[in-house]
Amino acid sequence: MNFIEKLNMAVEKNRSLVCVGLDTSPELIPPGMSVFDFNKAIIDATADLVCAYKPNLAFYEAQGEKGLEALYRTVQYVPKAIPVIGDAKRGDIGNTSEAYEKALFEQIGFDAATINPYLGFDAVEPFLKNKDKFAFILCRTSNKGAADFQSLLCQYEGKMRPLYEVVALKANQWNTNHNVGLVVGATYPEELKNIRQTHPDMVFLIPGVGAQGGDLKLAVNYGIDKNRRGIVINSSRQIIYASHGTDFALAARRATHTLRDEINKHLTEVRG
């Protein structure tokens, strides 16, 4: 199965648009527990409630060899029917991007990855060649500093547009294999609405709910496609650190269940 097929099956089976971000820091997990064992417990507790998992590579790379081993084991442990998104934000020219692609897709085994388009198409192209894999292009990110560049007006095709709109237009042009999506933060709902209106069929990875304060109702309302899908709503800290005690896995399950049900409630409120 390719990424979209696997994603849609998980969405249907688990009635979920929730992606759990496995951004695991050793100092925030129960003392004496390994990162992999923590992730394993989170996955066991939530696998019937999610449509995807998303480890952020920075948290594993920061731990050195031990962290990378935990990352490999975590990706392998996720049930095969659930896609795993590598939050890597990679993107470089020529053979460097080709090496990144091989590392993320062939060696680690991610189904999808987040990609930085700043260097242009030749930095993105290696991630698009395998039709079974998927690239989420950074478009309108959820952080406060996103406006430093992403809101800058650019002249493109005879119009002045903010840079994030140009990125979305370019990503749509690159989507010839139907394996390109966009990262659009819940913290910028009007921009999310605008991008969905101009790109009705693309899949959006939506961070920014929970700890970053994004409006979940607006993210659902403005993000979904005509089939009431097309969004993957990520939550990391709100779920995996719902409790810092020995009940962390149960607390993570409760938080995931609550988020899934809130999303589904908002879906029923959206006018068709």
Tell me what percent of the chain is helix, strand and coil, each rounded to the nearest 5: 50, 20, 30
**What are the structure tokens assigned to 233, written together?**
């709503």
Number of H helices, E strands in the chain: 12, 10
Closest listed residue to residue 128, CA positions, set 142, 117, 140: 117
Helix (H) or strand (E) holding 173: helix 163-174
d(CA 75, CA 9): 18
Annotated active-site residue in 13, 40, 54, 89? 89
d(CA 206, CA 224): 11
Helix (H) or strand (E) holding 130: none
CA–CA–CA angle 255, 260, 266 (5° rounding): 125
CA gyration radius, the chain: 18
Q: Is 89 an annotated catalytic residue?
A: yes
Active site residues: 89
